[in-house]
Structure 1
Amino acid sequence: MDKAMKNRKLLKTIQNKVLIYIPLMLFALLMMGPFLWLLSVSLMPGKNVFAFPPAIFPTFIDFKNYVDVWQYMDFLKYIWNTVIITFFGVVFSILLCSLTAYPLAIFKFKGKNIIFVALIATMIIPAAAGLVVNYLTINKLGLINTFTGVVLPGLVTVFNVFLFRQAFMGIPSDIRDSGKMDGASELRIWWQLMMPMIKPAIAVVALFEFMASWNSFLWPIIVLNTDKYPLASALSFLNGQFSYNFGWIAAGTVISVLPIIIVFLLTQKYFMEGISGAIKG
């Protein structure tokens, strides 16, 4: 009798998992559909990209598009430009956003909540609204056609400040008190005690900033000359005035998103921990 009950429980467990995982797999495939179609188009040169139904999975594999687009564009130069912009964008964004969030989370002073609410309220302002102001500021500082001019306007974002603030608020106050008792300055406490405690939040911010900097398109076109374009902006060269090769565009796009996929796979553990910590906070 016990064996029959165990078999029924096992069967019920399997059925429940099937009912859960099958819809999740179908939903994941639906979300991956556009990327799979893009990958399929990049691997099938000469294929009609507007054929219906679309080819989600390639029927044959040919890397001609990748070879042609690599020879057509100086990919190494544009990748190097993107690496420079992304590196400084990620590093300084983590430092400045965490420095901004630290007093909002730890210190007690009048008007702290008003300042935080005012920061959150700025999130309703569309990013495009700041393009003219940012351009005038960068131009006044003499930073046109420089990587600094590309990186500077986006170093501090409200979302990153909010994420760091929630992470700092989850750290027990005893950690800071112990640093104070040892005579450490507030800056040293922030760097040596607090920052190591919020590695998941740092990973989340690093991933978001990496994606934003790597995929930066419009702002670099406004600020930089063509020889300093990052990869996303340089892909616009594949678009002709009267015609375009969609296979080349697909291949170039796949090449540009591969680093993002790799970075996400390497940081997904910290990413999930950081997101869950921010929600709980």
Structure 2
Amino acid sequence: MHDMRRKPLRFTKSLLLYGALILLAIFMMGPFLWILSVSLMPGKNVFSSPPAIFPTFIDFDNYVQVWNYMDFPRYLMNTVIIALMGVVMNIFFSCLTAYPLAVFRFKGRDLIFALLVMTMIIPAAAGMVVNYLTVKALGLMGGFLAVVLPSAVTVFNIFLMRQAFMGMPHELRDSGKVDGASEFRIWLQLSLPIVKPAIAVIGLLEFQGMWNSFLWPMIVLNDTKQYPIASALSFLNGQFAYNFGWIAAGTVISVIPIIIVFLCTQKYYMEGVSGAVKG
């Protein structure tokens, strides 16, 4: 009898909780939903009084016009190349740096890791001048490598991978040594498959960061045809200012690949984040 009384109460609590979460999700998605709505509006003035929030009817004319006006295939290809380069370099260098900090026992290991973590308080803008001078001295200006190299590895990714490697069973490394495997082979063939969720997190975060980068590419790339999609939209913003529907349509097009990548890797993303927190 007592259990039957508690069931309606549990149902009410669950209903309120899920209702609150749905409202919070709608609130967080509000700006994107508004951009999506504006991109489907056939009119040019979306800031009229009162402002139009929902389109009166769905029209993809903004997408067609902005796709024909901008060379989207070129900008998308530039962005894909930059994002893939950044993802590969970050995964490789983060795993290669984090593995000895998590597995090896040597003097000064904790000090080195502490110094790395301390650098996270330095704002990214503070190193922009140094990065520019370094890229220029290496003769990389005007190439995609100049965009990727300054962020080829980040301390956060090293921290995340170190936590993942620390959760790896010690018996796995011992068994590799017994079989005569080198340390590099143990890292490559035994350790990396164990930390795939953390690698997926790094891949997703770096893909998103590289995809949305716009200021640094505009500094180091000389040819506007080499711009990634975010820089191209910002560069052409002045030409699109008279038609905000075009800007909204271009923004939605640039966001779609990130959504697809997240949907494909969200399982590993949640596993990797939870594993890092537990570690």
| Number of the residue aligned with 1:235 | 233
String of CA shifts for 1:230-249, please: whole Å, max 9, x gaps.
Answer: 11111124312794421111
Partner of 2:22: helix, strand, or coil?
A: helix
Q: Indicate yes or no: 2:203 matched with 1:206.
A: yes
Pick one of 74, 84, 101 that aligns with 2:71: 74
Pick one of 258, 264, 267 that aligns with 1:266: 264
- In structure 2, the CA distance between the partners of 1:8 and 1:42, relative to structure 1 (3 Å rule), is same
Deviation, 1:58, is 3.0
Distance 1:148 1:42 in 2: 34
Distance 2:81 2:26 in 1: 34
Partner of 1:122: helix, strand, or coil?
A: helix
String of CA shifts for 1:167-217, please: whole Å, max 9, x gaps.
Answer: 000001111111011111111100100000001101100000000111111
Residues 94, 153 of structure 2: 8 Å contact kept: yes
Pick one of 166, 177, 184 that aligns with 1:169: 166
Deviation, 1:10, is 3.0
Q: Indicate yes or no: 2:112 matched with 1:136.
A: no
Q: TM-score, normalised by structure 2?
A: 0.95
Distance 1:279 1:73 in 2: 43
> Which stretches in structure 2 are left out of the alignment for 5+ residues?
none
After superposition, residues 111-126 of structure 1 pair within 5 angstroms as 111-126=108-123
**1:116 partner amino acid:** F
Determine what percentage of the aligned residue pairs are the same residue. 68
Partner of 2:238: helix, strand, or coil?
A: coil
Deviation, 1:56, is 4.5
Q: Give me the CA root mean square deviation.
A: 1.6
Residues 33, 56 of structure 1: 8 Å contact kept: no
**1:36 partner amino acid:** L
Deviation, 1:52, is 6.0
Number of aligned residue pairs:
278
Distance 1:206 1:158 in 2: 15
**2:271 partner amino acid:** E
After superposition, residues 173-188 of structure 1 pair within 5 angstroms as 173-188=170-185
Q: Indicate yes or no: 2:153 matched with 1:151.
A: no
After superposition, residues 8-19 of structure 1 pair within 5 angstroms as 8-19=5-16
Q: TM-score, normalised by structure 1?
A: 0.95
- In structure 2, the CA distance between the partners of 1:241 and 1:73, relative to structure 1 (3 Å rule), is closer
